[in-house]
Structure 1
Amino acid sequence: MIVDISADHPHFQYIGRFDRTDPQVPHFSWSGSCIRFRFFGSDLGIFLRHLPDDPEHTENVYIVIIDNNPPQLVHDVHEKNEYRLAENLPEAAHSVTIFRRTEAMCGVGIFEGIRLNAGGLLLSPPQLPQRKIEFIGDSITCGFGNEAASETEGFTAATEDGYRAFGAIASRKLDAEYRAICFSGRGVHRNYDGSRTGLLPELFEQIYPQSPQKWQFSQWQPDVAVVNLGTNDFANGIPEATEFIGDYSAFLGKIRVAYPAATIICLDGPMLSSDALSTCQHYIKQAVTIAEKNGDSNVFTFSLSTQGENGFGADWHPNVAQHEKNADELVAFFKEKLNW
């Protein structure tokens, strides 16, 4: 007989912010949310369900990696579905990673467990990396449109790959646990559309954007928090200095309260250019200076190279080649500044 194992089994490893109020149906929506496990057997199916936010974003996309085999894509739909991922594998121990490629605006995902062949067993989970990084940002951090062929394409879930966003790439190269708190169009002072509600500093406090439940920061503490915000604030003009610097400074203070021991790295790039870029860099440095004057010496700035020479993804966003380039730059900075 087949073996069904529900999501509340202690050998499932949840990486990211999951609402496990009902442990049999953990809910999640942040990009990069990850479920890892090991099993003994030859066949594997997973149970996923999707709660869309609106008619424009009707699916989530996941990468599933079994052992060292090429990633498989799972395009999740509304109803609970069993996705058959493997049959006739060697009857042995196998490792599995389920990684959410799409961001929170694509809706809430629900994991409901796995199905194994007769005699299959869920084994103890794999060991987590010792180092931990959280990336806090906007569409760039999400990997918005990074698989699109050109800037003329609009957003689709199919061309957003958080697994190949710069933060995820850099984390793997640094052998670090990766988490992301990111949402397209959001800023630290104002959003892309000019609104002042649902800013990233607000979303940072939530278990995921669609839930009013607050995240308990004591559950997980990163070694490094990487902030890449400002692109949306500057997208439609340069914001007033005092307001932006004040809001950015306040967010740095909020991050410090949440993560007392973490190194904070404030990024800019790769989408801004000209006066918007130089002014954003200046404002961020001013905010970091304020943090230093308030006694926080563990905050740094770093600039990612500006996009262009590698082409573009959807809606002028960085493509995978640019994400890889920026990831390499950030890895070099970690090694130089943090001796990783």
Structure 2
Amino acid sequence: MPVRRRPRAFIVVATALLLGLTGWLLAPTAGAATGDGSPSDPNIAFYGRWDNADPAALVPRFAGAYFVTGFTGTRVALKQRSTIDLFYSIDGGADAYLQNVSGTVSLTPTALRAGNHTLRVSYRVVAGSYHGDAVFRGLTLDAGATTFAAARPARLLEFIGDSITVGTTSSKNALTAYGWLTGERLGAAHTQIAEGGACLVSAADGCTGMADRFLRTSTAAGSPLWDFSRYQADAVVINLGTNDVGHGVSSTTFQTVYTQLLRDIRSKYPRAAILALQTFTRRYAAQTQAAVQTVTAAGDRNTFFVATDGWLPADGLSDSVHPNDTGHAAIATRLAPIITEKLGPAGTTPPTTPPASPAPSVTSPAPGGSGCAVTYTRTSEWGTGAQFDVTVRNTSAAAVNGWALTWTLPGTQRITQSWNATASQSGAQARAVNVGWNAGLPAGGSVGFGFITDSTLTGATGFALNGAACSGGAAA
């Protein structure tokens, strides 16, 4: 994918502003009038990286930035500097699309009922650059009307990537991209730190390197460093590597830089769950896994590799690389429960080391006889580790509500991380227990999970589901 740069007029060297969730809400600008709808109104929550070099004209710097506020009265309008395309939603309704609007832009051509309302606005992006002049200069309300602080989600999800994360070729760009969809599905705030054509590594031929730009206010070269004290992400999802292969990035360089990105994210977000997605093209998959293995071996127990094989349906691409709306929705369906598993119920904080509490108990009796079959496959390896995928099928006549699979690992092999199941180990004995969303296993039904080990050994034996021996299980 070609690198597309922002229009030069929009590249502003500045500090950043982000108003938002409890615990990462900036103090209002001195002299801000609460409720007046100005850019410094503390009732307006800005999600994403917003540039406030001019406090009267705020500029979003990455795809998917948006703001949310409540307001009273019957009408609301935006004050825009120059022509822009944008999406807006009032009272949680479908996003409406306006093109080539400027000045005072009415968002209520038909008056609303009198009372309290909510507003969300997101400027349209094309390959990471805003389509027009994305400069917010405030809101215009009815005489006597005011803004008020809308409910703020308890969690923030950050998505780092390229044009796929931007949502290029989907119907509403950032709003129909998997990151936005996943955040909405989980009731979380969300940001997309992404640009079309971006690489992981800053390439000599000019490819924007997100390993560096993650640390900055914008994707402009030499942009000021972002102030990470302004918000803390609860989960960070990385999808990078699709473009690096076309810019001469070696496997060794990719792995080294990816490892450093993981360390940088951890230093900025000490308690975030970090999910490193296998790219949908499988480019640099082994190096991505190895980078995760490096940081987990060094003690980071809240960083995970996520295999994405089979996530995109046959009709999920608009071209050979970019998901369409169907593809992005399918990705969100697979990703949302994984994020939920890593974060736990809302209101809890994910640990940075494995919990000491015992694994969840299994509530159903074991299927009688050989009521299960296991497929246990080594799907990739990289010298110091390997990934294994496991499928368990309930061959009994009874449904299982809660399951645990046990088996014996070969030699001194150790499990270092898992997904779609909670894995534990005592000596050579391994155990994987369902997570909340995949506890049910109907008669004839299957469930899958995966894990990474610190060696490439195969030859696991003794598979049992809820205590009943399973057939199959040979590692490929």
Coarse TM-score class (shorter-chain normalised) = 0.7 to 0.9
* Structure exhibiting the larger radius of gyration computed from Cα positions: 2
Distance 2:41 2:125 in 1: 25
CA deviation map 1:282-306 (0-9, x unaligned): 1111011111222212110113335
CA deviation map 1:159-216 (0-9, x unaligned): x52111101111111111101100111111256xx73553112211221224722210
Identity of aligned residues (%): 27
Q: For 2:219, which of 209, 226, 249 is the aligned residue?
A: 209
Distance 1:268 1:213 in 2: 30
| Counterpart residue number, 2:94 | 70
Distance 2:250 2:219 in 1: 27
SS in 1 for 2:314: coil
Q: For 1:164, which of 171, 176, 187 is the aligned residue?
A: 176
Given residue 252 of structure 1, which amino acid in structure 2 is its aligned partner?
Answer: L
Distance 2:93 2:302 in 1: 40
SS in 1 for 2:244: coil
CA deviation map 1:69-117 (0-9, x unaligned): 322112356xx52211103211111100012341542366210011122
Segment of structure 1 superposing worse, 286-295 or 305-314: 305-314
1:329 aligns with 2:334: yes
Distance 2:179 2:36 in 1: 34
1:230 aligns with 2:241: yes
Change in 2 beyond 3 A, CA 1:138/1:300: same
More strand by share: 2
* 1:247-326 alignment, distance < 5 Å: 247-270=257-280, 272=281, 277=282, 280-304=284-308, 305=310, 307=312, 309-313=314-318, 316-326=321-331
Distance 1:225 1:243 in 2: 22
Distance 2:213 2:169 in 1: 22
CA deviation map 1:295-332 (0-9, x unaligned): 21211011333546114326741101000000000012
Segment of structure 1 superposing worse, 9-18 or 329-338: 329-338
* 1:14-33 alignment, distance < 5 Å: 14-33=46-65
CA contact (8 A) 2:166 2:173 kept: yes
1:93 aligns with 2:105: no
CA contact (8 A) 2:235 2:339 kept: no
Distance 1:161 1:61 in 2: 12
Given residue 144 of structure 1, which amino acid in structure 2 is its aligned partner?
Answer: T
| Counterpart residue number, 2:106 | 84
| Counterpart residue number, 2:73 | 41
* TM-score (structure 1 length as normaliser): 0.82
CA contact (8 A) 1:245 1:287 kept: yes
Segment of structure 1 superposing worse, 172-181 or 227-236: 227-236
More helix by share: 1
CA contact (8 A) 1:145 1:315 kept: no
CA contact (8 A) 1:49 1:76 kept: no
1:145 aligns with 2:177: no
| Counterpart residue number, 2:139 | 114
Distance 2:84 2:160 in 1: 20
Change in 2 beyond 3 A, CA 1:227/1:311: closer
CA contact (8 A) 1:169 1:324 kept: yes
Given residue 288 of structure 2, which amino acid in structure 1 is its aligned partner?
Answer: I
Distance 1:35 1:334 in 2: 23
Q: Which runs of 5+ in 1 are unaligned?
A: 51-58, 148-159
Distance 1:162 1:130 in 2: 22
CA contact (8 A) 1:29 1:109 kept: no
CA contact (8 A) 2:211 2:257 kept: no
Distance 2:212 2:157 in 1: 20
CA contact (8 A) 1:63 1:74 kept: yes
Distance 1:4 1:264 in 2: 38
Segment of structure 1 superposing worse, 6-15 or 309-318: 309-318
Change in 2 beyond 3 A, CA 1:213/1:91: same
Higher relative contact order (CA 8 A, sep 6+): 1
Distance 1:40 1:223 in 2: 32
CA deviation map 1:43-69 (0-9, x unaligned): 11111235xxxxxxxx75321000133
* Aligned residues between the structures: 306
Segment of structure 1 superposing worse, 17-26 or 173-182: 17-26
CA contact (8 A) 2:48 2:65 kept: yes
Distance 2:216 2:87 in 1: 24
